[in-house]
Structure 1
Amino acid sequence: MGEVRKVQKKLRQIENLEIKISLAPEERFKISRKAELRSRLAELLLQQSGPQYTLGTVAEGNKEKMKRQVVDAPEDLPSQTPTASKIPKGERQPKAQAAPAQQSASQRQTAPGRDGDGDGGARRTQPDTGPQGTRVSDPQPPPAGSDARPATPTTDVGNQPQAEQQDTEFASLKATWEKTKFRLRLLEGHTDIVTCVVAIDNVVISGSRDTTVKVWHVPTATQQRNLGGHSGGVTCLSAPPPEYCRKLARSLSLSEKDRFILSGSADCCVKIWSLSTGQCVKSIYTFNAVTALCFVPEGHGYIIAGSDGGKVQGWSWQTLESCQSINAHHEAVTSIQAQGPLVFSGSVEGDVCVWENLCSEREPLRLLQHWDSQVTGCRGGQGSRLVLSPRGDRLFLGHGRAFIRVLNWRTGSMSRLTNHSSLSGVTDCIHQTPGLLIGSCYDLANGQSTLNMFSLPQCRYVTSLTSADVPRILCFAAWLTGSGGHRWVTGGQSLVVWEQLPASAKQRGDVTVRRDSRLDASLLESEGDTDEDEDSYDEDGEEEKDCQSQDATEGESSSWFRCVLQ
């Protein structure tokens, strides 16, 4: 396993180098070894593909730990329920002791289906906080309806029809997606990496490291507007809901039909753009490179941004004045997502903060939970970029590995979904669309990009979509057409629209639909059984020298995230 991890780490470094604007001679030499390293990694993985190296096994030193499989327990994913200790920021969270599983696979199949999403953002907990938001109270028990509640006894056969109905619905969903076809269209115009995308009806807005925000009309695959005004790479976008756009339009004496888009950039600015005029109606200077952004549609509305220095900042949508600035993380914030009155932020070091929006004009955000990398398992390192996607009590985490981690943000219990059949896969983005969780995966061994789909809320693997024409997917957006078809857009080295063809269409699709049976079983881990971190092992002298050389030439910019800011 040691050599496999070394080769994987070198390939990650090469992938990060390839998206830099300029390269030093030694960096070009490293990239020239890409094909050689891919061939070597494929050879090593083939050697280890026998009975001694299976999907459900993770090696650790000279011993192997077998992961337990979830057969059909969609909402039992975080079955390990450690004490929900709320820790002051900066302290290390002790690993929870895993409770032994009490149900067999056959018992899980007869368990009644439960929607563990709970009330999510609708329920607000009220922990006591210190002067700086540090929690000082004892943890409250998880509310009824959360993922953390104990499993219902499975001897009640009266619920068997419900389980059978879920299986029938899943079988139908799987059969439908196995027959689906997509047509791909390239949107040409950006001259550098596409870092972020959002969709509004049939309009796609993309941000790029080339400093521009572009507006595209998807049905005709044409560029409508080029929003130039940032002096640094655009790192994040967010689209306020229509009702909040109407409020701003009225205050600016613009048409109430106007829509607005928010963009954040490495130039330390958050800009608000009018899509109808293409003009910047407001520019907010933040003193730090903006690295994550979201709009919170609660009360009068709030703009929440994360910075390269770890700050989380807020502005009132009503006044566009600053209302809060918090030193929330030690390193760069890489993702901010809103769910009702809740805001979730994640950072390079792998920690997650959960905030409650109090809808106040002064300091609207209050810290509810902080889970560090000891709990999330998303330790910072070369190429680390934590992405978040909340759903009720669960928070899906992507961190550049072959798994999607699932955090119960109320209790700290962890589980994970297999997003690639080998450890050479890299998860770059996660997205939810009605009934589906979609995870992108990039194979370091062969350079292939894949979109894996899981059913919601059960998180059961459905199928995978791939195309030789799609490079590494770094950002993703999805929406439904008026006829109920799927339209997606993916960004990275190129901007690609995925349009679902009608079931009756005779033309051949551009996308390969395939199922990887090795992803059928979700892998469940206890808090102590984390997957092997390729960056956490001791390397030989040559590898360590390579890392030191790269650190000397790139400093902190070895990760994809740092490259975006260059």
Structure 2
Amino acid sequence: MGEVRKLHKKLRQIENLEIKPFLTQEEREKISRKVELRSRLAELLLQLSAPQQGQGTVGDEKERMKRQVEDSLEVVVSQSPPAKVPRESSDRVPSQRREVAPGYPAESQTGTSEPQEDPKHNCLRASWEGARFRLRLLEGHSDIVTCVVAVDNLVISGSRDTTVKVWHVPTASEQRNLGGHSGGITGLLAPLPEYCRRLAKSLSLNEREQFVLSGSVDCTIKIWALSSGCCVKSIYTFNAISALCFVPDGEGLIVTGSDGGKVEVWSWDTMENCQSIKAHEDSVTSLQSHGPLLFSGSAEGGVSVWEAQCSRAAPLRMLHQWSSAVTGCGRQNGATVSQLTLSPRGDRVFLANGRASLKILNWRTGSVSKVANHSSVAGVTDCVSQTGGVLIGSCFDLATGESTLNLFSLPLCKYLVSLTCPEYPRILCFTGWLTASGCHRWVTGGRALTVWEQLPANGKQRGDVTAKRNSQLEASLEESGTDTEEDSDGKTDSCSASHTTDLSNYPCSKMSDTPLPGR
């Protein structure tokens, strides 16, 4: 298994190198070995799953070998002993205590617990089993798609090729090409209609005008009018932008993250910088708002929580900051890691950081739990999102090159189904919503930009992808202390916060799963 672990590590590093903005010659040479390493890994997994077979049994029957390789991951996992949940000792610090998810009973005096049957979850799971999706490619970008947002029946995509494109989703056609940046696009946002009306009025445009903002490594934020495709405003930030977000509180705030770890705030009314904070030690890779709260995640694995306040001089106030020692999302042995992405809900934040599991951080207490997002350590989780009452995590299999979207019910985070696409490119970004008929419509980006259209349950159309259950992911909620091979190199220290505001009585709005207007 030693060589298998080394190959997993090398393939993970290569996959992460491929999404970097710039590559050295040495890095290009490493990437060129991906096919060779993947073939070697497949061969080793096949030997582990069937050691009695000789060397000559593979090679002649190509299809048979492919099926065996695809099944080998599950076999290896099934041969591993189940992880043991450590009994809580009396000398642990409070922030290391086990957090029991809602709907799961606390352990009895004997140390055992049985998950309660959840009729609502069972009904939701039954409705998802066999669900079919039609996939349509949106072709036009010449490089990796890094971000996507939706506005009514339009999807706006930003790419490393420096362009922003507007797509009409029902017809899967390109509507506009917004060229103007000189560097790769790293963030997109679509302000709420009330903020669009205010900006339209100040620019003497139609009050129904819709706007989208783009951030780039060229140190600029550009504001585009979607009806004309014109750039109506450009803000120079002096720092390469690595993340972009809008906080819909009061006058409205544009928030940018930089590759140097800065979080900066810009007034929606004046477009002037009103706050700049060195918030993280490494690049800010994710910014997400949740009511008056803002969550920032960084490449070193830290997560910060901010509150919008009525102050022009300092519109953001830090509530809490959790280091990588708490989140467990930091670099391991100096290895290249995928960017940390996050999705907040209530007092929890779902984290994806390029590993085989999703992590759940309680931002009030610092307790962390994990949800299995792949059946082995060969999985890479790049993005996590919430739509229509489900949590969706993307997963890419390093060994087979398969992409999967795993669905979990909310709020319990219990596994529902998986949508797997053989030989589909790695999914790096996601947006989703419900159509007027109640069906799901998603758009995923990466090396391919794709619309996922859920087909009606009573329809006769044949779908490209069918939702199926993966038995390996049934017990999706894992104990935060049970390290797997994926994080065995990185030891988690005591869960201590670097900022200790009392948040026990802080109100937190609930997330809405209501379809967006006009969709």
**TM, length-normalised to structure 2:** 0.82
Residue 171 (structure 1) aligns with? 122
CA-CA distance at 1:448 after TM superposition? 0.4
Task: Tell me the alpha carbon deviations over residues 112-144 of structure 1, each in whole angstroms, 9 at most, x when there is no partner.
Answer: xxxxxxxxxxxxxxxxxxxxxxxxxxxxxxxxx
The sequence identity of aligned pairs, in percent, is 63
Q: Is 1:245 aligned to 2:196, yes or no?
A: yes
Distance 1:259 1:456 in 2: 31
The change in CA–CA distance for 1:109 and 1:361 in structure 2 (over 3 A counts) is same
Higher mean alpha-carbon deviation, 387-396 vs 9-18, is at 9-18
Higher mean alpha-carbon deviation, 7-16 vs 387-396, is at 7-16
Counting only pairs closer than 5 Å after superposition, residues 483-494 of structure 1 correspond to structure 2 as 483-494=437-448
Distance 1:534 1:521 in 2: 19
The answer to whether the 8 Å contact 2:274/2:314 transfers is: yes
Distance 1:323 1:434 in 2: 35
Distance 1:507 1:345 in 2: 42
CA-CA distance at 1:361 after TM superposition? 1.7
The change in CA–CA distance for 1:469 and 1:425 in structure 2 (over 3 A counts) is closer
Distance 1:50 1:531 in 2: 15
Distance 1:244 1:33 in 2: 49
Q: Is 1:201 aligned to 2:144, yes or no?
A: no
CA-CA distance at 1:482 after TM superposition? 1.0
Residue 113 (structure 1) aligns with? none
Q: Is 1:102 aligned to 2:87, yes or no?
A: no
Distance 1:498 1:382 in 2: 31
Secondary structure class of the residue paired with 1:66: coil
Higher mean alpha-carbon deviation, 48-57 vs 473-482, is at 48-57
Residue 458 (structure 1) aligns with? 412
Residue 549 (structure 1) aligns with? none
CA-CA distance at 1:3 after TM superposition? 2.4
Distance 2:402 2:410 in 1: 25
Q: Is 1:502 aligned to 2:456, yes or no?
A: yes
The change in CA–CA distance for 1:259 and 1:65 in structure 2 (over 3 A counts) is same
Task: Tell me the alpha carbon deviations over residues 128-181 of structure 1, each in whole angstroms, 9 at most, x when there is no partner.
Answer: xxxxxxxxxxxxxxxxxxxxxxxxxxxxxxxxxxxx5xx222222112211211
Distance 1:455 1:44 in 2: 35
Counting only pairs closer than 5 Å after superposition, residues 170-249 of structure 1 correspond to structure 2 as 170-249=121-200
Secondary structure class of the residue paired with 2:467: strand
CA-CA distance at 1:514 after TM superposition? 1.8
Residue 320 (structure 1) aligns with? 271
Residue 392 (structure 1) aligns with? 346
Residue 84 of structure 2 aligns with an amino acid whose one-letter code is M
Task: Tell me the alpha carbon deviations over residues 25-59 of structure 1, each in whole angstroms, 9 at most, x when there is no partner.
Answer: 6555534432332233234445277999646968x
Q: Is 1:266 aligned to 2:217, yes or no?
A: yes
Residue 498 (structure 2) aligns with? none
The change in CA–CA distance for 1:277 and 1:99 in structure 2 (over 3 A counts) is closer
CA-CA distance at 1:402 after TM superposition? 0.2
Secondary structure class of the residue paired with 1:261: strand
Counting only pairs closer than 5 Å after superposition, residues 133-144 of structure 1 correspond to structure 2 as none
Residue 243 (structure 2) aligns with? 292
Residue 478 (structure 1) aligns with? 432
Task: Tell me the alpha carbon deviations over residues 214-242 of structure 1, each in whole angstroms, 9 at most, x when there is no partner.
Answer: 00001111111111111100011111111
Q: Is 1:281 aligned to 2:232, yes or no?
A: yes
Distance 2:78 2:344 in 1: 27
**TM, length-normalised to structure 1:** 0.75
Distance 1:387 1:350 in 2: 10
Residue 54 (structure 2) aligns with? none
Task: Tell me the alpha carbon deviations over residues 76-97 of structure 1, each in whole angstroms, 9 at most, x when there is no partner.
Answer: xxxx99545xxxxxxxxxxx36
The answer to whether the 8 Å contact 2:186/2:216 transfers is: yes
CA-CA distance at 1:109 after TM superposition? 3.8
Secondary structure class of the residue paired with 2:393: strand
The change in CA–CA distance for 1:208 and 1:373 in structure 2 (over 3 A counts) is same
The answer to whether the 8 Å contact 2:188/2:214 transfers is: yes
CA-CA distance at 1:108 after TM superposition? 4.8
Distance 2:210 2:257 in 1: 23
The change in CA–CA distance for 1:451 and 1:24 in structure 2 (over 3 A counts) is same
The answer to whether the 8 Å contact 1:449/1:470 transfers is: yes
Counting only pairs closer than 5 Å after superposition, residues 525-564 of structure 1 correspond to structure 2 as 525-526=479-480, 528-533=481-486, 536=489
Residue 124 (structure 1) aligns with? none
Distance 2:390 2:135 in 1: 20
Residue 348 (structure 1) aligns with? 299
The change in CA–CA distance for 1:494 and 1:81 in structure 2 (over 3 A counts) is farther
Residue 10 (structure 2) aligns with? 10
Distance 1:378 1:428 in 2: 12
Distance 1:316 1:189 in 2: 33
The change in CA–CA distance for 1:426 and 1:331 in structure 2 (over 3 A counts) is same
Task: Tell me the alpha carbon deviations over residues 335-376 of structure 1, each in whole angstroms, 9 at most, x when there is no partner.
Answer: 011111111101010011111111322211111111101100
**What is the number of equivalent residue pairs in this alignment?**
456
The change in CA–CA distance for 1:57 and 1:398 in structure 2 (over 3 A counts) is farther
Distance 1:81 1:279 in 2: 58
Q: Is 1:339 aligned to 2:357, yes or no?
A: no
The change in CA–CA distance for 1:366 and 1:51 in structure 2 (over 3 A counts) is closer
CA-CA distance at 1:319 after TM superposition? 1.6
Distance 2:315 2:23 in 1: 44
Residue 36 (structure 1) aligns with? 36
CA-CA distance at 1:20 after TM superposition? 6.1
The answer to whether the 8 Å contact 2:97/2:367 transfers is: no
Residue 417 (structure 1) aligns with? 371
Q: Is 1:435 aligned to 2:380, yes or no?
A: no
Residue 218 of structure 1 aligns with an amino acid whose one-letter code is V
Structure 2 unaligned segments of length 5 or more: list them.
Answer: 50-71, 101-105, 491-519
CA-CA distance at 1:300 after TM superposition? 1.1
Distance 1:324 1:525 in 2: 39
Counting only pairs closer than 5 Å after superposition, residues 146-161 of structure 1 correspond to structure 2 as none
